[in-house]
Amino acid sequence: MTNINAIRTQLEAIVSPEVFDFETDEDFAQSYREQRKTFLLNRMKLQAKLMMIIGLTLTAFFMWVNEGIPQKISAFKIGLLLEFFIVVCWLLCKTPLARRYLDIFFLGLCWSVTCTIQIFTALSFNYVEPMTNIWNLMFITQATIIPVKWRIHLIGQVGTMVCYLGLYTIYKPKFQFLISHYIEQGLYLFWTGTICVFSVYLYEKLKKKEFRAKRELEIAQEQSERLLLNILPAVIAKQLKLQPTTIADSFHAVTVLFADIVGFTELSSRTSPAELVELLNQIFCLFDELAEIHGIEKIKTIGDAYMAVAGLPNYRSDHALAIANMALDMQKSVIEFNKQNNLSFQIRVGISTGPVVAGVIGLKKFAYDLWGDTVNTASRMESHGIPDNIQICEATYQLLKDKYLLEKRGLIKIKGKGEMMTYLLQGVK
Q: Exposed, middle or buried by CB within 10 Å (0-12, 13-18, 19+), for 392? A: buried
Pick from 303, 300, 307: nearest CA to 265: 303
Dihedral of CA atoms 35, 38, 40, 46 in degrees, nearest 10, equals -140
CATH class belonging to 237-428 = alpha beta
DSSP states of 42-60 as a string? HHHHHHHHHHHHHHHHHHH
* Local structure of 363: helix, strand or coil: coil
402: how many CB neighbours lie within 10 A of its CB?
Answer: 8
- CA angle (28, 29, 32) in 5-degree steps: 95
Specify the pairing of strand 418-428 against strand 305-310.
unpaired
Q: What is the dihedral of CA 111, 114, 117, 118, to 10 degrees?
A: -110
Cβ atoms within 10 Å, residue 175? 9
Q: What is the three-class DSSP state of 406?
A: strand
Calculate the alpha carbon distances from 426 to 74, 278, 327, 339, 387 in Å. Answer: 99, 30, 10, 21, 13
Q: What residue ranges of the chain are covered by domains with CATH 3.30.70.1230? A: 237-428
Model confidence over 133-168: pLDDT tens digits? Answer: 899 999 999 999 999 899 999 999 999 999 999 999
Distance CA 352, CA 291 (A): 17
pTM of the full predicted structure?
0.57
pLDDT for residue 244? 64
E strand intervals along 317-415: 346-360, 368-371, 390-393, 404-414
DSSP state of 27: H
What is the reported pLDDT for 415?
Answer: 80
Position 107: which residue type?
Answer: L
- Residue 362 clears pLDDT 80, i.e. is over it: no
pLDDT digits (tens, 9 = 90+) for 245-300: 667 788 999 999 999 988 777 777 777 888 888 888 899 999 999 999 999 989 88
Position 305: which residue type?
Answer: A
Widest CA span in the chain: 118
DSSP code string of 91-105:
HHTTSHHHHHTHHHH
Q: CA 409, CA 414: separation in Å to the nearest integer? A: 13
pLDDT digits (tens, 9 = 90+) for 13-64: 433 333 344 444 677 778 888 888 888 999 999 999 998 998 889 888 888 8
Tell me how long the chain is: 429
Q: Which tens digits make up the pLDDT trace of 324-334?
A: 999 999 999 99
Residue type, 297: E
